[in-house]
Chain A
Amino acid sequence: MNEQPLGVLIVEDEALLAAELGFLLEEAGCRPLGHAMRSDEAVAMAHKLSPDLALVDVHLGDGPTGVDVARRIHDDCGVVALFMTANVKRLPDDFAGACGVIGKPYSGHGVKMALAYLEVCMREGVAPGPAPVGMTLSPAYARLWGLSDQPRAV
């Protein structure tokens, strides 16, 4: 690929998950830019690093602030956020401006598939097909990338 690899910010309060996710990102051809464990860190790093994508857990070091993080970095910096949470059903209907969600527990393969899929979506502006197994697109992004509203994962 000639394009710049996706710069990715990890927002996750579990150090082991974040470390493994960092390796996964590299394997998937992405550029891990940093790792935030709290909401204020996440917003500050998003401003400073201008990532293409932020992987955001809902429960962070300072509480269930991930939803707020996704909304702020989307509204303030135009960062595409992707939730990674075990609480898929608790997300707001508009996904707080995030492009979608990967449900925990995810597999390494599932994350790689999702990253490859999102890279195409963001580069081409059109989805290459329905979202891969384990990932759900938000209604707004499904429309943006040319998919009719997907039912949430069954």
Chain B
Amino acid sequence: MSAAREPEAEPSEPESQRRLVDVVLRARTFGIIVVLGVLVLITALIQSRFVGGGEVRFILSQTALYALVAVGEAMVILTRNVDLSVGSVVGLSAYVSANMFGTHPGIPIVLVFLVGLGVGLGCGVITGAITAIGRVPSLVVTLAMLYIIRGVDTIIVGSGVVLASTEPNSFLNIPTATIFGLPDLALAVAVVVAIAAYYLNSYRSGRDLYAIGSDPDAARRAGIPVAKRVFTAFVISGGLAGLGGVVWASQYATIESTAASGLELQIIASVVVGGVAIFGGSGSVVGAALGALLLQTINSALNVIGVSSIWTEAISGLLLITAITLDRGIQLRVAAALRRRRVRLGA
């Protein structure tokens, strides 16, 4: 999970220096776990049912969607880009996939997930191509895609709505299905997170994402296929958002064209709270998933102790600022440590 460090770099560096950088970076993920623990403890003291099976399963099941989409978003942000279109992709995929139950009664659920994945990948390919090949800033491209995809959604949905009565119970029961007391969804998303984490850490193309985010020009000069990697990151983000749409449909059952609007900001918040630097180059998908878990836990905790939902947003915002400020501080320190190391090596 250590991040900004490039593995091939300077094998002769002093072990203590290297450990310091590692510890600082690991501390970000560790920090979230500590905050999470304290939060759960305090809430449980006020309301013991908070740590009961039902509530824990609810939080994990709710987090699954956010964590899934956050993994893709994290990969995009690592490359110093951003994907603002994920909320619209989730909405479009939710409608198109869940609508299949109405138009093709008896359709296998696996096929519905594939339809959702396809919708997401399609959107990701378009966004990725314009950003990576057209070299247009992703902030602009994905902002445009946010509106375009939502517009397409509104046109397709038109006067329609997916009704809970058209969806089979086996589909609507997905969020409540459990294995060993843990929601299937959460376990499935944990597998996705693990695969993504392994890829980012152990594959050259995965490490490339960090290099691109640290310094795109240097990465280009070092021979990294920047456009290709960025394109891939957007396609993965789109695909995961597409799957997220199907999950959304199974959770909320009734789908209108406004489904999941504004979700993108909560996803980016999760990613940043999870310790992924907003300007790329460092962070991890495990952190992003934990960030999603933390935000969902805060939401639930405030609701369980009876704080108005209006405060939930303000508190999420406060957390975001804290995370970014901390992140900036850590970044400066790491940069200073790396510079010192380079000076010592005479580089």
Question: Do A and B make up one complex?
Answer: no
